[in-house]
Amino acid sequence: MLPPYADIRHLHLIGICGTAMGALAVLLKERGFRVTGSDSAVYPPMSEVLRDHGIHVASAFSSDNITPRPDLVVIGNALSRGNEEVEAVLERRIPFVSLPEALREFFIRGSISIVVTGTHGKTTTSSLLAWVLDFAGLQPGFMIGGVPANFGVGARTGSGRFFVSEGDEYDTAFFDKRSKFLHYLPDIVIVNNIEFDHADIFGDIGEIELSFRRLLNIVPRNGLVAANRDDPRVVRLTEHTWPPKVMFSLSGDADWHARNVRDTASGATFDLIGPSGQITCELPLFGRHNVSNALAVAAVCAHVGVSLEQIRDGMRSFKGVRRRLEKLYDAQDIVLYDDFAHHPTAITETLRGVRAAHPGSRVWAIFEPRSNTTVRRFFQTELADALACGDVVRLGAVHRNDRIPESERLDIARLVSDLRERGADAESLPDVSRLCEEITSTARAGDVIVVMSNGGFGGLTGLLRDALEKRFGASESAT
């Protein structure tokens, strides 16, 4: 039985360095709780954020980490039975909850809850939405699985009526297999796109659609669903909803749509057209997929009373999100980006956006197969199609490949062969030091290097940045 929430003073988070868990830790700290945590993989940016907020993190799981006894333990969804710290929590009968439960009870309940969902673009859309609302003076709270540059943190309690959550369809915890977003008491939901992912918990696309359907079934009649008309699955899923619905699209067949989309050296410009009028926007993000994200933001912001002028000015002043095409180095006409892309669709859109921003450049696509889906053969062909959008492709090691039967594991040799057939200069270099040396020694003026991973990639981006600075000089305009 849980203690009354009013009596809780000390919370301990197991798996605290996950992006969402780290964001929750910051929220709890801001609310005045004593917060501690533990993890086995402590790396930036979350390790830096936690340190800057004075949150102590134990760098290994141990039963000693819950002595003295906390009032409540939050167990991250990466943890499972057999973990020493989890087992100690169960044995000592310490009250525990999942991350979504804690977020709901401490922060969402009592707010107008805006949940941003979709296979791709959740972090960017959530960050842009939170910033435009804040720019308009609405002071939202938010919890985002990344670090928006405008705020410097992935979470904030906020003092306004709204709370923005990145709504992940992944399961909640080892003791609760429902999708996380089902806990967030949604009043307004954005559905950006729906594709197959998370092969470790979903058997097929039908199971994913079922989770989204369950989410839409708990949006109240006085709420709102903002849906992407350009995605057939989203259209079908939202065809019949209890709450009002607003559609957005890159074409003209929607309530909110874009015209005259133009790529620029710093992002994109487009004419934003909606029921309340038309205005030209400048978005400092690359790619048409980010224009689509911006349309979703505009639809929701207009619904809650933000003017077109505030939407335009908020978008123009958006500074992006760490690890979402974050520029780490720029000198001697060589640019290094760090990106979270790990699904074939996201990889394709990322590389196309880079090409549009850097026409004529040689594009390096450096990819670490790390997600539970890309380490398997589900996207064997799709990954080749996506990565072939780069000129030079280098593949890191398949993450934890010893845990995947060879018959199910991504076939790296075949992927390299398929990429070469598609015209790419492709090679597998599983050793991070060797990979860094090869990129640095062969990079030349005009190259754009994009490192893509949903994990740490062995610290490759930091090693590359240091090596490029040593060879070509200090970065001129990295952000």
Q: What distance in Å separates the CA atoms of residue 469 and residue 479, rounded to the nearest whole number?
A: 15
Is pLDDT of 18 > 90? no
Residue 296 and residue 226 in contact, taking contact as beta carbons nearer than 8 Å: yes
Instruction: Tell me if residue 113 falls in helix, strand or coil.
Output: strand
- pLDDT, mean of residues 93-108: 96
pLDDT for res 430: 95
Q: How far apart are CA 344 and CA 374, in angstroms?
A: 9
Q: Kindly list the structural domains of the chain, giving each domain's residue range(s) and its CATH number in brackets, ordered by start.
A: 7-100 (3.40.50.720), 110-316 (3.40.1190.10), 326-472 (3.90.190.20)
- pTM for this one? 0.88
Sequence-separated (6 or more) residues with CB below 8 Å from residue 353: 285, 286, 287, 288, 289, 290, 325
Question: Residue 478: is its pLDDT beyond 80?
Answer: no
Radius of gyration of the chain (CA): 22
Q: Tokens 């109240």 correspond to what residue?
A: 220
Q: Give the model's pLDDT for residue 41.
A: 80
Q: Summarize pLDDT for 257-309 with one digit per residue, the tens.
A: 999 999 888 899 999 999 989 999 999 998 899 999 999 999 999 999 999 99
Q: Kindly tell me if the per-residue pLDDT of 248 is higher than 90.
A: yes
Q: What's residue 154's pLDDT?
A: 85
Whose structure tokens read 């141990």? 62
Mean pLDDT (the chain, rounded): 93
Read off the pLDDT band of 2 (50, 70, 90): low
Q: What is the pLDDT of residue 84?
A: 97
pLDDT score recorded for residue 1: 57
Q: pLDDT (tens digit, 9 = 90+) per residue, 396-439?
A: 999 988 888 888 899 999 999 999 999 999 999 999 999 999 99
**What are the residues whose beta carbons fall under 8 Å from the beta carbon of 334, sequence distance 6 or more?**
443, 444, 445, 446, 447, 448, 449, 468, 472
- For the cut 60, the answer to whether the pLDDT of residue 346 exceeds it is yes
Q: Which of 117-121, 210-214, 341-345, 427-431 has the lowest mean pLDDT?
A: 341-345
Q: In 3D, which of 41, 155, 178 has the Cα closest to residue 98?
A: 178
Res 479 pLDDT > 60: no
Alpha helix positions (H), 104-220: 122-135, 205-216
Residue 303's pLDDT is what?
98
Q: How confident is the model at residue 457 (pLDDT cuts 50, 70, 90)?
A: very high
DSSP 126-155: HHHHHHHHHHTT---EEE-SS-BTTTSSSE
The answer to whether 386 and 345 have CB atoms below 8 angstroms apart is yes
- The span from the CA of 255 to the CA of 117, in Å, is 19
